[in-house]
Amino acid sequence: MIRSALLARRAAFAAALVGLSLSLAPGLAHAGMTVSGKPKISFFATGSPGFLDIEGESSTITGTDDGTRLSFAVPMTSVSTGIDLRDGHMNNEYVKVAQFPNATFSLAKADVKWPAVLAESTTGTVKGTFNVHGVDQPVDVTYTAKKSKTGYRVTAKFSFDVSAHGIAIPSYLGITVDPKMKADVQVDLVDG
C-alpha cells in the first residue's frame, strides 16, 4: 500500500515536471517553423503634394527558425507597385537591390504568445529588428496568431522610417514620398 502510494506520487511528480517543462519552453514545441502557402507583404507609402497612396506587394517570403529566433526575408525585386518605372526607381536608385537584395525581419520566438488550441487566436506587440538597405532598426510589431491544423496563421503590422535606414527620400516629378512607411504581413507558419 505504501509502495503503490509512493509510485503514484512519483508518477504525478513526473507528469507535473513534463507539463512544467513544456509550458516554460514554448519555443521547443514550435522548433523548425517554415513559411507555407501564399504569404503576402505590403509596403505602404504616401506622397505629397496631394494624396498619393503607394502600395508595393510581394508574395515571396522565406523564413528560418533557429529555435529561438524567427527570421523572414523578402527579395526587394519581388515587390511590385504595379508601375514598372516606379519599381525600377525604387530598386535601383533608392533601395539599391544590387547591393542590398533583401528586406529582413527577425524576432524572438519566446516573445510571441502562441495559441495552443485549434482556431484560438492571440494578439500582442513584440519588439523586432527590420533591415532594409543594410541597416537594422528596431520596430514594434502588432500581431495576431491563429492556431491552424498545421501551424499558425500570423498577421502583423509595423511602421518604419526609410531615412533611418539610410535611404534617400524618394522624389519624382514634384511628388515626394513620406519617409514614414508601414508594412502589413500575412504568413502561414507550419511546424517543420
Domain ranges of the chain: 1-30, 31-191
pLDDT at 52: 82
Q: What is the CATH number of domain 31-191?
A: 2.40.128.110
pLDDT at 93: 93
What 3 state SS string does 116-160 have? CCCCCEEEEEEEEEEEECCEEEEEEEEEEEEECCCEEEEEEEEEE
In one-letter notation, the amino acid at residue 9 is R
Which residues have C-beta within 8 Å of that of residue 184, sequence separation ≥ 6? 41, 42, 44, 155, 156, 157
Which residues have C-beta within 8 Å of that of residue 167, sequence separation ≥ 6? 94, 95, 132, 133, 179
Q: For the whole model, what pTM was predicted?
A: 0.81
**Bond into 138 cis (ω within 30):** no
End-to-end CA distance of the chain: 46
In angstroms, the CA 48 to CA 3 distance is: 80
pLDDT at 171: 83
In angstroms, the CA 67 to CA 28 distance is: 7
Positions in the chain whose pLDDT score sits under 50:
1-30
pLDDT at 159: 98
Residue 99: strand, helix, or coil: coil
Which residues have C-beta within 8 Å of that of residue 55, sequence separation ≥ 6? 42, 43, 44, 45, 81
Q: 3-state DSSP: the chain helix, strand, coil percent, rounded to 5?
A: 25, 50, 25
